[in-house]
Structure 1
């Protein structure tokens, strides 16, 4: 019976209210997109050194065991991240543009993508590409473009590695402080270097990182172009 202080309506309302089940509320379903987004967030805030499976699980608000239902190791997560980032690198020009223009478009795009994720560069630069379909698709498109242009096949991979080494280093340069080459109190004793730094932006780009990247890339394209047959 309802208590003397309760009205019949109040009693019915109380009885009809569904009771909350014990236990944790259900978590959102994990998928690759959520894992990748959380991984980039963890690396962005804590660096690669702070990127652990436990930290990733906390970021996703799940138990580590739930995470291991989708990926078997930290390497698997990094392959997913590598593939995700590589998918933004533009390679379409290798199908329709002259070789030098295609290399230029690919390299600028590649640098811009990884300049936003520099903590991952030391890892991704040496991460095997097996099981990374989008990364392999990028390399296939670039290799095919080099081959069609008449580049010696035995030098294609070496040329790509040389370009990537330059691209990854240049991605770091994008985030360098503006006064990185300021000679400070030693300006008078380093007049040639100090004068060159003062005129660094005279090439028309304005941004010193873009000036350096353009100069180096054009030199590489010209050098590799001499090998075309």
Structure 2
């Protein structure tokens, strides 16, 4: 009888690729990848060159795909600025050798911003919202104030009128 014929079993390797069959393979879009691409564009051309359409085109997605991850362009600009500020490393300043300390500080900052020079013009191109501010942005001010306090007070210099 045909129903009694036993078919030999064929070992089939599982093909679990994590996607449904027939769907094209796409790059994974993340907030980090959006921020990185924005930083690259803004670093070369300034924030004025960053539009949602340009960003989507550069990333090979639709603008709607970007809006699935961020609410608007301002959020992207804020996230880029937070990334830039949090990436800054500040050297220690030595009040006893203040001239050299300032050279070390500004050379360090210049070297760090050399990768994305146009990003520093964010104040001219954009407005950072309160969500885009980072407590680390005050770090340079705190270091400078601490430096001046240790430099001026032991020498009897007045810091004000």
1:50 aligns with 2:52: no
Structure 2: where are the runs of 5+ without partners? 1-9, 151-156
TM-score (norm 2): 0.60
Mapped to 2, the partners of 1:71 and 1:106 lie a distance apart of 35
In the TM superposition, what is the alpha-carbon distance from 1:120 to its structure 2 partner?
Answer: 2.9
In the TM superposition, what is the alpha-carbon distance from 1:137 to its structure 2 partner?
Answer: 0.9
Preserved contact between residue 39 and residue 81 of structure 1 (Cα < 8 Å): yes
Change (3 A) 1:55 1:92: same
Mapped to 1, the partners of 2:132 and 2:113 lie a distance apart of 17
Match in the other structure for 1:31: 31
Change (3 A) 1:48 1:29: closer
Change (3 A) 1:61 1:44: same
Match in the other structure for 1:192: none
SS at match of 1:150: helix
Match in the other structure for 1:62: 61
Mapped to 2, the partners of 1:80 and 1:119 lie a distance apart of 16
Preserved contact between residue 44 and residue 117 of structure 1 (Cα < 8 Å): yes
Match in the other structure for 1:79: 78
Change (3 A) 1:74 1:103: farther
In the TM superposition, what is the alpha-carbon distance from 1:82 to its structure 2 partner?
Answer: 1.8
Match in the other structure for 1:98: 95
Match in the other structure for 1:168: none
Mapped to 2, the partners of 1:108 and 1:227 lie a distance apart of 28
Equivalences, count: 138
1:142 aligns with 2:147: no
In the TM superposition, what is the alpha-carbon distance from 1:44 to its structure 2 partner?
Answer: 5.3
Preserved contact between residue 44 and residue 118 of structure 2 (Cα < 8 Å): no
* Structure 2 counterparts to residues 188-203 of structure 1, below 5 A: none
Instruction: Work out which structure has the larger RCO, using CA pairs closer than 8 Å and 6 or more positions apart in sequence.
Output: 2
Mapped to 2, the partners of 1:117 and 1:91 lie a distance apart of 17
Question: Over aligned residues, Cα RMSD in angstroms?
Answer: 3.8
Match in the other structure for 2:127: 127
Change (3 A) 1:102 1:36: farther
